[in-house]
Amino acid sequence: MLRPFALYRPSTVGEAAEVLAREGPDAALYAGGTEVLLILKEGLLRVRSLVDVKRIPGLDEIRRDDGHLSIGATATHRALERAPAVHAHCPLVAGVARHVANIRVRTIGTVGGNLAFADPHSDLATLFLAFDGVVRLASRSGERDLPLAEFVRGPYETARRDDEILAAVRLAPWPAGTAGAYVKFGVHERPTLGVAVALMRGAGGDAVTDARLAVGCVGPRPQRLPEAEARVCGWSLADLARHAGEVAALAARDVDAVGDLHGSAEYKREMTRVFVRRILLVAGARAAGRDPHEHYPHTIIV
Amino acid sequence: MSAPGPLRVVGRSVRRTDALEKVTGRARYLSDLELPGMAHARLLRSPYPRARLLGVEVARARAHPGVHAVLTAADLTWCEPFYGPALRDRPLLATDVVRYEGDPVVAVAAVDEATAVEALDLVEVDYEELPAVMTLEEALAPGAPLVHAGEPLAGHFSDLSTLRARPGTNICHQFDYARGRGAGGFAEAALTLEDTYTFPRVQHYSMEPHGAIAAWDAEGGLTVWASTQNPFSVRAELAKMFGLPASRIRIAVPLLGGGFGGKTYAKLEPLAAALARVAGRPVRLQASVEDAFRTVRRCSARVRVRLGFRRDGGLVAVQCDADFDVGAYADIAPRVIQKGTYTATGPYRVPNVVLHSNAVYTNTTPGGAFRGFGVPQIAWAVESMMDVAAERLGRDPVDLRRQNLLAHGEEFARGDTPVDGKLEESLSRVAEAIRWHQASAAGRAKGVAVMMKASVAPSVSEAIVRLHADGSASVLVSTVEMGQGARTVMAQIAAEVLAIPLARVTVVPPDTSITPYDQTTSSSRSTTMVGRAVQDAAADVVGQLLKIAAAHLGVPAGALAVDDAAIVGGQRRLGYPELLDLHFGMRGGELIGRGVVAPGRTQAPLGGSTPFWEVAMGGAEISLDEETGAICVEAYASVADVGRCINPQQCEAQDEGAVMQGLGHTLLEEMVYEGGVLLNANLVGYRVPRAEDVPARFDSVFVENADGAGPFGAKGVGEGGLVPVSPAVGNALARLTGIRLRELPLTPERVWRALRARRDA
Amino acid sequence: MNIIPIRSSCSIRVTLNGRPVELAVRPEALLLDVLRDRLQLKGAKRSCDMQVCGACTVLLDGAPVSACTFLAVEADGREIVTVEGLGTEERLDPLQEAFIDHAAVQCGFCTAGMLLTAKALLAEDPAPTRERVVHYLRGNLCRCTGYRKIVEAILACAHAR
Ligand SMILES: Cc1cc2nc3c(=O)[nH]c(=O)nc-3n(C[C@H](O)[C@H](O)[C@H](O)COP(=O)(O)OP(=O)(O)OC[C@H]3O[C@@H](n4cnc5c(N)ncnc54)[C@H](O)[C@@H]3O)c2cc1C
Ligand code: FES
Ligand code: FES
């Protein structure tokens, strides 16, 4: 059961921003509603009005833009899974989208809603960090871009100002020849841990020239792990196969793990080690042209 | 007495009689019912595990437009405000204290739910928090705060009039049983093992949460539509609370969206009735799933077991001391603890036994009945330890079990029913199905476990079969259809005996003003007990038909036979409609048959002899992700001795569901409290098995020797399959890793910790 | 610029089980309540109320959604199929037949959601693998059957094509 509210249906970002400016904290943005309606039902949030952003034309667009993959805030997980632009430029994203939540939430839930809600157990926030995700925020005073890493501040907390709308998230596609992989683990409804990895290699060379490693769900917000990333650089695939454990240990050291229903901080730290190593090996194998079909219980590898 | 020759309907996997309405969405459950003018109720629940109520201010809520009734404990002067099947320890609404997070304090009925919620927003409650006891350790500590302090306890079940509380403690009932030389038996043991196992708090999560609609009529009679597994217990409870004769109360039960024990005994019905009385109109009280988590759960337990073996592997003595955490109110837990503990020796021959268990109050959701009724908690301990014993004795676990199994016809306990199944056959079948004697692939191991459970006794079931003028029949029984397929089975039995097509039989839904008495739809008892009553009632009708035919044909009834909706004798064949016409001299009138199954009290330790022994055995093959601690159940085999499958497909369906539910508490499920508050009273935080958790290989096998006390040699099925799951998986884990876990669920982190502890040691 | 919110009732037109329906709903009305309480379509059930269990599943333009957490106003101009629209007693959908034949129905509380989810899956992929079926059922819980018979029923339909 929901308590009464007024529903605004702006048709431009500007209109939405105006309503937000007018209503202040008495209004909440609403896209698919898979999160916001839940917390309204639970009584955890009470507002006088909802501002529906999904009727704003173009806000769900997924396209290549200026070398980036731009994902409109109101694109659903289902759209992400199927969009040709995603398959062309960030295919891993399409694969991960297929494993978010369940079919009903994927049908209705949006990328913007996922990021703006900042539930620490988000696959997308973790994955997008590995694509140097940048969110575009729009308000009456114009637009600003903010790296995702700065946007997500903590559990259910973002750098979005009350009058701002998340318009899109922009991903930097990995260069050709990059091997990427994502793993999620956990027995609960939402993931206990997510790790995204990318190994970039110079043209023709075997050595890893650059790397991305992001870990999420285990702590208050997803993190990139720069030291672990740096350790991989310069390694050959053989080095990687031999020393993946070192990188994993660094990741486990640096990750900010907190205990919750999903497990203790200690366990999550250890799982970070386990899955960073595993996913590095998967990415390494992919870089070598193999696709290892690893199966672990309660684990999805994309 | 019944039709000779091969069975036509019984033993066949006929379609469920309710399948069509269920796949088309026509099936009606409690939440689908609507009454004109009906109000909707909501409860205000305590946010604290234990607190004194200093003040409850409801004036603003009462004045809120659209509100029909606001109830607090203080308003309930006109009825007996306490209820509970074992102990009348539960107030309709909290009186001076609240005893768990979720204890109802105020109830509101309003024109719609939204208004009821608004009204509750206007209620102000002043609490003074008190120290709470959240665990068995805390509740049993000397000087622990008492969940119930010196309140009057009045029995409602006659056989529980022997309730033995320990005054001044949180123990509300103790169960003791001994035979042979009791603990003295351990003197003969060459090997004695002792250990403690724990079982978590788990939630039934029947997909349909509890619900009740109550309406009072102009003459002061009460009708309650309830999602209950035992309408007659609810009726008894309401009769007492509202001072009404049983005949003035009508409990009608629509289809249930699952029960699993969680819908036994009064839950929301008393409150709905009280609200309807004050509101002066029908009231619906519909629980949410979150409410269900705060209504009832399985009793968690700490079980200490001692097993004594002779050198040759024979069990000489068993001692079991179990503490069951029954939460804030006793519900039916006193019975759970005695039933569960009573069969601590499993299906084994044990000369010396000493059993003791306590029902312990804590400030948590009340514990009650849940599929297995106390047996899973104890079997988790005992069956794990049987494997430990096998290892210590250098014996194969299947072999050691086989050596100790009771024989067909052997006494389990003095005065109780002798063993009615061939237990060895079940064991062989499970070993075969799980390929016990073949080596597992690398990284895999197998485990087995067995169980034997008594059904409720003494108990009573009655049935009425009406053969109508057109030769069709109505079966009147109070068995609740909650998914198990009882209505189909009852129809099959009646169709078989009456020799009419299944489609000509209608099973009437339970309604205490129409359908005859049945104690409860639980304890896997319906097919055996109600089924027999239906069989007898149908046979009664057949007897009448034979008599009528004999009179008309002038031949002795013994020379006649029943065949395809007719009585035949020599060349003559009289169809049922024709016979009824002859009998009544007109088209109209019906034959009424009656069946009563009431074995009564006996000298058996629990006061009645079990009508049958439910026997189930399980074998699991698992693999383990050693780095994460995640277990994968690769294969599972479940064997149940059902005597005879009345409907093989339904038996299989019951068993598969039971095993999956067992996998839930084995691997995933646990209600988690922190700071006195239940953290995961919802399906995001409380994870139940999903389709992806079904073992890749899954066999459900039935032993059918037609040796049960039920119709056509059937016995009960439905609970058993769940019980062996946790010890079978735990035993497989031990065989795979050498690690013995004593605490459920076997979550990845728990297993990981154990693996790490071993590595570090 | 002055945009006006929906504050009270607003009229929506829906194609419901193939038939046009027009009705007034409040912005906070949930689709599940409108279907069940206003339109007397009781096939979709409320269980978890959190989009986890699937008991409330209906098809929105062919795609499964959780009616328990979906505003009725959003259905305006769209097509909704509930279990009542899947097949009639005289002409059951093959999935309904298969669920009956495979004993994939016990208490029935999950059944409508299971059927509609399976319907959407088969529309997308007429011959799914077992893995695909299991993956698609991720958000549909059943506490009675143990899932095996449900998966088998769906696969039987897939193969029957
Ligand atoms: C059962 C379940 C399981 C899930 N499992 C997973 C999982 O496995 N992995 C995972 O990553 N996620 C998971 N999720 C989260 C899911 O991805 C999100 O619920 C969904 O994407 C949110 O999108 P929405 O459009 O429905 O958001 P809404 O509920 O509409 O909004 C969510 C929040 O974002 C705000 N908001 C929405 N749009 C904007 C915007 N454009 N600008 C600014 N603020 C905005 C709202 O005000 C609100 O606070 C799960 C969710 C559920 C319900
Ligand atoms: S009730 Fe909607 S998903 Fe469970
Ligand atoms: S049949 Fe009961 S929940 Fe699925």
Q: What is the pLDDT of residues B661-683, one digit of tens each?
A: 999 999 999 999 999 999 999 99
Q: Quickly count: other Cβ atoms within 10 Å of residue B286's Cβ.
A: 21
Nearest to A261 among B625, B627, B679 (CB): B679
B312 occurs within a structural domain: yes
| Rounded average pLDDT over B278-285 | 98
CATH number of the domain enclosing A108: 3.30.465.10
Q: Which ligand is nearest to the CA of A34?
A: 1
Quote the domain boundaries for residue B69: 33-132+204-293
Where is B533: in which H helix or E strand?
helix B526-553
Per the prediction, chain B carries an average pLDDT of 96
What is the structure's pLDDT at A203? 75
Domain boundary among A171, A197, A217: A171
**Segment B527-553 mean pLDDT:** 97
Nearest residue on chain B to A296, alpha-carbon basis: B625
Residue A205: predicted pLDDT: 75
Domain membership of residue A137 (yes or no) is: yes
Are the beta carbons of B630 and A187 separated by less than 8 Å?
A: yes
CA atoms within 13 A on the CB side of B154: 11
Number of domains into which chain B is organized: 3
Neighbour tally for B150: CB within 10 Å: 8
ipTM: 0.97
Whether the per-residue pLDDT at C1 is higher than 90: the answer is: no
Same domain for B647 and B499? no
Give me the pLDDT at residue A160, please: 96
> What per-residue confidence (pLDDT) applies to B57?
97
Residue with tokens 């899109």: A168
Number of domains chain A is built from: 3
Chain A residues in contact with C142 by the CB 8 A cut-off are none
Question: What pLDDT was estimated at residue B2?
Answer: 41
Tell me which H or E stretch contains B222.
strand B222-226
Distance (Å, rounded) from C-alpha B576 to C-alpha A183?
Answer: 68
Helix ranges (H only) for B224-318 are: 231-242, 269-279, 289-293
- The boundaries of the domain holding residue A86 are 62-171
Give the percent of chain C with pLDDT over 70.
Answer: 98
Round to the nearest angstrom and report the end-to-end CA distance of chain B: 69
Residue A119 in any domain: the answer is yes
Are residue A132 and residue A215 in the same domain, yes or no?
no
Within-domain flag for B179: no
CATH number of the domain within which B217 lies: 3.90.1170.50
As to burial, measured by CB atoms within 10 angstroms (0-12 exposed, 13-18 middle, 19+ buried), residue B519 is: buried
CB atoms within 10 A of CB B55: 9
pLDDT at residue B161 is higher than 80: no
pLDDT for residue B756: 96
Contact C136, C63 (CB under 8 A): no
pLDDT tier at B761, thresholds 50, 70, 90: confident
Q: How confident is the model at residue B430 (pLDDT cuts 50, 70, 90)?
A: very high
Is A1 inside any structural domain? no
Chain A closest-CA separation from residue C159 CA (Å): 22
Q: What is the CATH number of the domain that holds A45?
A: 3.30.43.10
Question: Could you tell me if B389 and B344 lie in one domain?
Answer: yes
- pLDDT value at residue B12: 96
B723 and B708 inside one domain = yes
SS3 B168: coil
Q: Which pLDDT score is estimated for B1?
A: 40
The DSSP symbol for B513 reads T
Among residues C152, A102, C125, C115, which one has the least CA distance to residue B690? A102
Q: Which residues pair with C9 in a beta bridge?
A: none
The burial of B648, by beta-carbon neighbours within 10 Å (0-12 exposed, 13-18 middle, 19 or more buried), is given as: middle
Pairing of strands A142-147, A157-158: unpaired
Decide: C109 in ligand 3 pocket, CB within 6 A.
yes
Which CATH number is A198's domain given?
Answer: 3.30.390.50
Strands B39-45 and B283-286: parallel
Last residue of a domain, which of A171, A202, A219? A171
CA distances from A97 to A77, A105, A107, A194, C119 (A): 6, 11, 11, 13, 21
A219 and A159 part of one domain: no
Quote the strand ranges of B586-717, DSSP E: 591-597, 613-625, 630-641, 673-674, 677-678, 697-703
Q: Does A252 fall in a domain? A: yes
Q: What are the distances in angstroms from CA A223 to CA A91, A215, A255, A267?
A: 21, 5, 7, 17
What's the pLDDT band for C92 if we cut at 50, 70, 90?
very high
Question: In angstroms, rounded to a whole number, what is the distance separating the alpha carbons of residues B115 and B104?
Answer: 18
Q: Quick one: B718 and B609 in the same domain?
A: yes
Mean pLDDT of B694-705: 97
Examine the pLDDT at B506 and tell me if it is beyond 80: yes
Residues B349-370 have a mean pLDDT of 98
Give residue C51 CA to ligand 3 midpoint distance, Å: 16
pLDDT at A190: 96
- The reported pLDDT for the residue numbered C89 is 86
**Same-domain check for residues A160 and A71:** yes
DSSP conformation letters of B488-506: HHHHHHHHHHHT--GGGEE
Give chain B positions within 8 Å (CB) of A298. Answer: 628, 630, 748
pTM passes above 0.95: yes
B272 found inside a domain: yes
Q: Which residues of chain A have pLDDT under 70?
A: none
Q: Kindly determine whether residue A15 and residue C1, on different chains, have CB atoms separated by under 8 Å.
A: yes
User: Final residue of a domain: which of B235, B261, B293?
Assistant: B293
Q: Are residues B451 and B465 in the same domain?
A: no
Pick the residue whose CA is nearest to atom 50 on ligand 1. Answer: A101
- Do A214 and A280 lie in one domain? The reply is yes
Give the ligand 3 atom nearest the CA of C150.
4
Task: Residue B497: give its domain's CATH number.
Answer: 3.30.365.10
* Token pair belonging to A221: 């917000």
Contact predicate A165/A139, CB 8 Å: yes
Measured CA distances, B431 to B168, B427, B436, B701 (Å): 49, 6, 5, 11
Fold topology of C10-85: Ubiquitin-like (UB roll) (3.10.20)
When the pLDDT of each residue in chain C is averaged and rounded to a whole number, the result is 96
A15-64 tens-digit pLDDT: 999 999 999 899 999 999 999 999 999 999 999 999 999 999 999 999 99
Query: For position A80, what pLDDT does the model report?
Result: 98
pLDDT band at C160 (very low <50, low <70, confident <90, very high): low
Cβ of residue C42 closer than 8 Å to a chain B Cβ: yes
Q: How far apart are CA C82 and CA A246, in angstroms?
A: 54
**Distances in whole angstroms, Cα of residue B379 to Cα of each of A286, B192, B198, B304, B728:** 48, 18, 11, 11, 10
Domain match, A73 and A164 both: yes
**Residue C3: pLDDT band by 50, 70, 90 thresholds?**
confident
d(CA B28, CA C108): 10
Q: What is the pLDDT of residue B156?
A: 58
Three-class DSSP category at C54: coil
Q: Using CA atoms, how far apart are residues B165 and B181, in angstroms rounded to an integer?
A: 26
pLDDT at B82 over 50: yes
Q: How far is B24 from chain C (nearest CA, A)?
A: 6
**B5 falls in which pLDDT band (50, 70, 90)?**
low
Q: Is the pLDDT of residue B593 over 90?
A: yes
Both B465 and B490 in one domain: the answer is: yes
Which of B563, B597, B631 terminates a domain? The answer is B597
Q: Is residue B340 part of a domain?
A: yes
Averaged pLDDT, C86-114? 96
Q: Is residue B255 part of a domain?
A: yes
Q: Where are the domains of chain C?
A: 10-85, 94-159
> Residue B160: which pLDDT band, with cuts at 50, 70 and 90?
low
Q: How far apart are CA B212 and CA B222, in angstroms?
A: 12
pLDDT in tens, A275-301: 999 999 999 999 999 988 889 999 999
- Structure token digits, residue B135: 């665990």
- Judged by CB atoms closer than 8 Å, whether chains meet at C6 and A6 is answered as yes
Q: Is the Cβ pair B694, C83 closer than 8 Å?
A: no
**Cα B318 from Cα B343, distance rounded (Å):** 11
Residue A217 lies in a domain: yes
Whole-angstrom distance, CA of residue A185 vs CA of residue A71: 25
Per-residue model confidence (pLDDT) at position B3:
42
Same domain, B448 and B469: no
Please tell me the distance between residue C138's alpha carbon and the centre of ligand 3 in angstroms.
Answer: 15
- Residue B682 Cα to ligand 1 midpoint, Å, equals 18
Q: Which of B277, B293, B309 is the endpoint of a domain? A: B293
**Contact assignment for C27 to A189 by CB distance below 8 Å:** no
A297 within a domain of the structure (yes/no): no
Mutate to test the interface with B, among A34, A183, A271, A273 (most CBs of B within 10 A): A271
B220 CB burial (10 A radius; 0-12, 13-18, 19+): exposed
Domain boundary among A146, A171, A196: A171
The mean pLDDT of B514-529, rounded to a whole number, is 95
Residue B439, classified by CB atoms within 10 Å of its CB into exposed (0-12), middle (13-18) or buried (19+), is exposed
User: How many whole angstroms separate alpha carbon B719 and alpha carbon B339?
Assistant: 14
Q: What angle do CA B342, B265, B197 make, to 5 degrees?
A: 35
Backbone angles phi, psi at B596, to 5 degrees: -130, 125
Residues paired with residue A76 on neighbouring β-strands, in sequence order: A110
Topology (CATH) of C94-159: DNA polymerase; domain 1 (1.10.150)
Measured between alpha carbons, how far is C59 from C81 in angstroms, rounded to an integer? 5
Give yes or no for residue B155 having a pLDDT over 90. no
Say if residues A209 and A179 touch (Cβ distance below 8 Å).
no
Test B483 with C55 for CB contact under 8 angstroms: no
Query: Are residues A190 and A229 both part of a single domain?
Result: yes
User: What is the rounded average pLDDT of the residues C22-44?
Assistant: 97
* Beta strand spans in C18-120 (E): 19-25, 57-60, 63-66, 79-81
Q: What are the Cα distances from residue A160, in Å, to A26, A112, B312? A: 16, 12, 73
Cβ–Cβ under 8 Å, residues B214 and B275? yes
